[in-house]
Amino acid sequence: MNKTIGTGGRLLALAGVCLMLQGCLVGAVVGAGAAVVGGTAKATGAVVGAGVDAVTTSDEETRAKREREQRDHEREQRRCEQRQRQGQDC
């Protein structure tokens, strides 16, 4: 009879330990999942930030673009004047 109770107690203890370990495993998985999600959120934020930088134009870029357009316009004006001197249309 003692042997049966001892075995039953061991099985009960083993079942209890298994249940407790499941909680630990779930906690570890949830913790790892949160770390992955947190890392992904940081990476996503960096990508979104880079996308916003790519879409927006800084003052320096705007000024440079305006200067390029001005030079192109002046170049075209000079070509047109040369053509007119040669009797051609612009």
Give the model confidence (pLDDT) of 15-33 as tens digits.
Answer: 777 667 666 655 665 566 5
Q: Model confidence over 37-61: pLDDT tens digits?
A: 565 556 566 666 666 667 778 999 9
The pTM is what? 0.38
C-alpha to C-alpha distances, 30 to 5, 39, 80, 82, nearest whole angstrom: 37, 14, 71, 75
Could you tell me the pLDDT band of residue 8, with boundaries at 50, 70 and 90? Answer: confident
Which pLDDT score, from 0 to 100, does residue 33 have? Answer: 58
So what's the pLDDT on residue 74?
98
